[in-house]
Amino acid sequence: MDNMDEINKRLSPLRRETKVVMVGNVAIGGKNPVSIQSMTNTNTMDTELTCQQVIRLVEEGCELVRITAPNIAAAYNLENIKNELERLNCFVPLIADIHFNPKAAEIAASIVSKVRINPGNYTDRNRGKIDYSEEEYNDELEKIKERLKPLIEICKKHNTAIRIGTNHGSLSERVVSRYGNTPYAMAVSAYEFA
pLDDT given at position 7? 75
pLDDT given at position 23? 97
Three-state DSSP string of the chain: CHHHHHHHHHHCCCCCCCCCEEECCEEECCCCCCCCEEECCCCCCCHHHHHHHHHHHHHCCCCEEEEECCCHHHHHHHHHHHHHHHHCCCCCCEEEECCCCHHHHHHHHCCCCEEEECHHHHCCCCCCCCCCCHHHHHHHHHHHHHHHHHHHHHHHHHCCEEEECCCHHHCCHHHHHHHCCCHHHHHHHHHHHC
**Which domains are delineated in the chain?**
35-193 (3.20.20.20)
pLDDT given at position 165? 86
Spell out the per-residue pLDDT of the chain, length 194, in tens.
467 777 777 777 777 888 999 999 999 999 999 999 999 999 999 999 999 999 999 999 999 999 999 999 999 999 999 999 999 999 999 999 998 899 999 999 999 999 999 887 777 665 666 788 899 888 888 988 898 999 999 999 999 999 988 887 778 888 888 888 899 999 988 888 87
